[in-house]
Amino acid sequence: MPRIYTSSEIFKALSDNTRIDIISHVIAEKEIACQELMKRFPLSQPTMSHHFNKLVNAGILNNRKDGVLWFYTLNDKYLQSLGINIKKIIAKEKMLKGGEN
């Protein structure tokens, strides 16, 4: 039986700007390697791992290992089954950030 994630896990994971930015990159690429994501952020490996784990543990991202590489994809079907349109949330967030400049 698939794990059921609590709403608080999902919303806590979405409450961090870095995690929103990670999700944005994953959406843009469909699937992206951990190493590629790490190049896009000025954060340490342990900090990035913390963010990845929060997103995976909340059911927002899926991960898979291929050799030594970890890849991330959006768990969009699950989120949609909960009525969460993460792509719309991310698009709105981008629009708001663009409006701040």
Q: Which residue has the tokens 């543990």?
A: 57
Determine contact, residues 59/10, Cβ cutoff 8 Å. yes
Tell me the domains of the chain and their CATH numbers: 7-89 (1.10.10.10)
Diameter of the chain measured on Cα atoms: 46
Average pLDDT over residues 5-19: 86
pLDDT surpassing 90 at residue 84: no
Using CA atoms, how far apart are residues 51 and 26, in angstroms rounded to an integer?
13
Q: pLDDT tier at 70 (50, 70, 90 boundaries)?
A: very high
Q: Which among 51, 55, 49, 54 is positioned nearest to 76, based on CA atoms?
A: 55
Helix 17-29 × helix 86-100 angle, to 10°:
120
pLDDT surpassing 50 at residue 6: yes
pLDDT score for 92: 86
